[in-house]
Structure 1
Amino acid sequence: MRDIVVLIFLTGCIVAAFKKPWWGVLSLAIFSYLNPHAYAWGFVRTLPVYYILFLIVAFRTFTTKDKQSIPKDWRVIFFVFLWLYFLFTTTQAYIQDIAWDRFWFVTKIYIPFYFTLVLINTRQKLYLLIVTIGIAIGIVALKGGIFALLSGFGHRVYGPPLTQFEDNNQFAVAMLMIIPLLLVWQKGSNHFWIKKGVLLSIPIIFAASLSSWSRGALLTMSALILMLIWNSKHKLLAIPLVLVSAFFVVDYLPQEWFGRMETLESYQEDESAMGRIEAWTDGWRHTLEHPFTGSGFEGWMYVTNRDWHSSYVEMFAEHGFLAFGIWISMILGTIVNLTFLPKKTKEIEGMEWVAHYCFMVRASLICYMLGTAFLGLAYWDLLYHLIFIAVLIKKFANEELAIKQKQTIPKRPLSPILK
């Protein structure tokens, strides 16, 4: 039965992509983050679903007229240069077979962002892309949150099978990152039940993140709550609501959960934490010796005893300081842009959406920066999706701003001769 349902859904996505290619971009996001065919039991589970959709969207992208040119943004140039640099470092990698496999895996993640940049050519389409990403991850997060509440947080919550965030720690960060995206949906919708449903789902997603038993997620969650309160127009209501919720949750969590969180203070006694510090130290020393090439993809197998367990270390240890500089510049530059862009549209009627989109996407990016400090997710597609969503926010905001400025310029009266 599950196979039939997934097959029908896939067929619908294929038809939608043929009819309107930008719907294919949304479909790719669903199959990338939700990975619905992994929940099937039969032949559908092994179908190359994502690649089928990819080929269809690629074909329709080059045949449709409903598209735009690639936005002229420095982040797009940096992104391409970063990929080229990966190609260079892979030729110098220690473990060639594994490095090339990983390079092509990352390439398959990167290429579909071209479709996002050229097919998402209106603000409404951008809104629906944000909503689709939020829902794709949010569905599993809600399921996990309900399970966590019913089981008294006694079991860990895991992500969709065969995705980059299947692991409980990675899924915890992904869940926190999509909460701001769901708030974009909540504010942009006119439907009463959607607005209330999204607000009710957020505490459940927080519960799912707590039940991941991830220490990094606890730090990220704390930062996210502070950011949401800071950007809220109802701070006086939000603060006591958070405090009351925390009071009840503390009594509900098992003692073993607190024992794991306490290792944040006593990390010297935690074997896992000390193993990460050792890997980070080995990665740093190796990069000092090989600042331009690093170790190549999956170079930890040669350099140290375990995975990097940090996106930052993963990037500079595998590709050197130049690649790290490009990568971190894209993230920090996007956060800076999202901070200052709302000031250009402040108090302009009809452009209130800019500030909300910017603050929410910025919150998601900050969650990534905090959460992946302890997780190796430097090539995560969700990160680059957020960066390119920010590129499109800037593009559409500047276009709308230019139109409104033209409308406010007073027209000069015609001279008597022209009359």
Structure 2
Amino acid sequence: MRDLVILGLFLVLIYKTFKDPMWGVLGWVWMGVMNPHRLAYGFAHDAPWSMVIALALFMSLVLHRDKLVRFPFNAVTILLAIWILWIGVSPLLFSFYPDKEMHFWSRAFKVLLMVLVSLLVVQRRRDLNLLVLVLVISIGYYGIKGGVFTVLSGGSARVWGPEGSFIEDNNSLALATIMTVPLIRYLQLQATKRWQRNLAILAMLLCMASAVGSQSRGAFLAIVTMSFFMWMKSRNKLPLALVVLVALPLIFVFMPDSWTERMNTIKTYDQDASALGRINAWQTAWRMALDLFPFGGGFTVAGPAAFAKYAPDPSIPLTAHSIYFQALGEHGFMGLFLFVGIFAMTWRLASATIKATKALPELQWARDLSAMCQVGLIGYATGGAFLSLVYFDLPYYLVLIVVVLNRIVAAEMTARHQAAVESGQVPRDVHSPFWEGA
């Protein structure tokens, strides 16, 4: 039955994609982030859904090429384009397992390439709202389900994601769930009905409960950091503060002793085997990046060959468990610079949008969405310090949203300035004060 439902939804998506490429973008995001086919048990489980929707999208781009927008050239998109090219350099030059590189490279390449392609399609507020909604549904499904499971089980078992996806691991799912909370907050701020706002509050609480129930230490740190930034960036700070100060501690109180013991290992990391293994992997990545400067060892550095050459303790070859050391080990110092630079420039671009719309009530929605994307990036920067999620889709979609928001606001500000010039309120030689770019 699930297979037929997924097939039916997919056929509708293909039909809609040929009518409007935006539906192809939404379908790609849904398939890539949620992996709904992994919830089925028959033919749908392993069918190449993403490949088919991508082909349909590219065909639709050709059919509707007159409706595409100009590619936005700014610091974010330029760094992203260079990053896409750079991730193919180290695997070619210094891979320890060349025959295994293609699988990992193709997966990362497809994620990043589709973000660039989406920049040609996503162009309106409606498009952004649909994209946010699809992201919330895709991750929120597991977050809400996991939150209910955590509450009913008293937090005695961990929450896991769909197999074969970026969020299969309990730690990765927890971070994704936490990063979705600001997007739910954005939808709540835009909601016009009380039941919608209340539903959003419930969804946020259940997502946080799910993340706590995952027993992920990285997610715990991300919750604490992100809650503060979400309060700082939000409108109506008092109601949000009450939710965080009252509801969140209650979630922690009802967690079992096993959760408390695991969180306490943050303070005693030097006695925790998992933490020591990660530190060993970080040192390996650092030594490798120094030796191969400015390149890295490719996507397959988490293996015996690399650890035998660079690790302080070659007996425990583990993945980096850190987006920073993963980027450093796989793609060198240049790769780390590009990776961090993308999100740093995205933050700056979002700040420019927030500043430009500060005195414009009709663009409050753009200010809200920019701020919540910043909060999501804070969650990724904090929780990602302990997870190998360099190529995870969600943070790159936050980048996409911020770039499109900047373009929408820039067009609006330019139109306002032009109207002011034509009405004589502003001299013709005075340029628009809003700077599109970072």
Counterpart code for 1:311: I
- Structure 1 residues 110, 250: CA separation in 2 closer, same or farther (over 3 Å shift)? closer
1:88 Cα deviation from its structure 2 partner: 1.7
Residues in 1 aligned to 2:189 and 2:248: alpha-carbon distance in whole angstroms = 25
TM score, norm. by length of structure 1: 0.94
Structure 2 Cα separation of the partners of residues 380 and 369 of structure 1: 12
**Matching residue of 1:392:** 404
| Equivalent position of 1:42 in the other structure | 42
1:11 aligns with 2:11: yes
| Matching residue of 1:367 | 379
1:416 corresponds to: none
CA separation in 2, counterparts of 1:281 and 1:378? 18
Which residue of the partner structure matches residue 73 of structure 1? Answer: 74
Aligned 8 A contact 1:61 1:115 in 2: no
| 1:232–1:106 CA distance, 2 compared to 1 (3 A) | closer
Counterpart Cα distance in 2 of 1:382 and 1:412: 45
Q: Secondary structure at the match of 2:87?
A: helix
Letter in 2 for 1:244: V
Match of 2:357 in 1: 345
Q: Confirm or deny that 1:31 pairs with 2:31.
A: yes
Partner of 2:272: 270
Instruction: Look up the match of 2:85.
Output: 84
**Contact in 1 for aligned 2:373/2:402 (Cα 8 Å):** yes
Structure 2 segments unaligned to the other structure (5+ residues) = 308-316, 426-438
> For 1:351 and 1:249, how far apart are their aligned partners in 2?
35
Counterpart Cα distance in 1 of 2:139 and 2:399: 18
CA offset at residue 185 of structure 1?
1.8
Q: Tell me, yes or no, if the aligned pair for 1:68 and 1:118 is still in contact at 8 Å.
A: yes
CA distance 1:237–1:391, shift in 2 (3 Å): closer
* Residue 261 of structure 2 corresponds to residue 259 of structure 1: yes
The CA deviation at 1:10 is 1.1
Out of 213, 235, 238, the residue aligned to residue 237 of structure 2 is: 235
What code does the residue aligned with 2:41 have?
W
Q: Give the drift of 1:72.
A: 1.9
What pairs with 1:75-114 in structure 2 (closer than 5 Å)?
75-92=76-93, 93-114=95-116
Which one is further off, 315-324 or 346-355? 346-355
For residue 382 of structure 1, what is the aligned residue in structure 2? Answer: 394
Bigger shift: residues 296-305 or 55-64: 296-305
The 1:9–1:402 alpha-carbon spacing in structure 2 relative to 1, beyond 3 Å, is: same
Aligned-partner Cα distance in 1 for 2:55–2:108: 17
Aligned positions, number: 413
Q: Is 1:131–1:184's contact at 8 Å kept on the other side of the alignment?
A: no
Q: 1:409 to 1:102 in 2, by over 3 A?
A: same
Query: Structure 1 residue 303: deviation in Å?
Result: 2.2
Aligned-pair CA distance for 1:247: 4.2
Query: Take 1:262 and 1:229, find their aligned partners in 2: how far apart are those partners?
Result: 26
Match 1:320 to one of 305, 308, 332: 332
> What is the identity percentage for the equivalent residue pairs of Structure 1 and Structure 2?
29
Query: What are the Cα deviations for residues 286-305 of structure 1, in whole angstroms up to 9, with x where unaligned?
Result: 21111122111121213221
- CA distance 1:3–1:237, change in 2 (3 Å): closer
Provide Cα deviations, 1:122-163, integer angstroms capped at 9, x if missing partner: 122122112211121111211111111111111101123321
Coordinate RMSD, CA, aligned = 1.7
AA partner of residue 154 (structure 1): S
- Partner residue of 1:163? 165
Structure 1: which amino acid aligns with 2:266? L
Change (3 A) 1:233 1:55: closer
Distance 1:347 1:31, change over 3 A: same
Does the 8 Å contact 2:234/2:368 carry over to 1?
no
Do the aligned partners of 1:135 and 1:182 also contact (CA within 8 Å) in 2?
no
Measure how far apart 1:198 and its partner are: 1.1
Question: Per-residue deviation at 1:210?
Answer: 0.4
The whole-number CA distance in structure 2 between the counterparts of 1:365 and 1:227 is 10
Amino acid at match of 2:199: G
Q: Aligned runs of 1:102-141 on 2, under 5 Å?
A: 102-141=104-143
Deviations 1:201-256 (A, max 9, x none): 11111100000000000000001111122233443444344333244334311011
| Cα shift readout 1:351-395 (whole Å, capped 9, x = no counterpart) | 212221111000001110111101011111212111121111111
| Aligned position for 1:209 | 211
Residue range with higher mean Cα deviation, 93-102 or 311-320: 93-102
Structure 1 residues 69 and 246, CA, compared in 2 at 3 Å: closer, same or farther? closer
1:191 is displaced (CA, Å) by: 4.0
Taking structure 2 as the reference length, what is the TM-score of the superposition? Answer: 0.91
Give me the whole-angstrom Cα distance separating, in 2, the residues matched to 1:113 and 1:199.
29
Tell me which amino acid in the other structure corresponds to 1:353.
Answer: W
Q: Which moved more, 1:361-370 or 1:156-165?
A: 156-165
Provide the rounded CA distance (Å) in 2 between the counterparts of 1:114 and 1:330: 13
Report the equivalent of 2:431: none
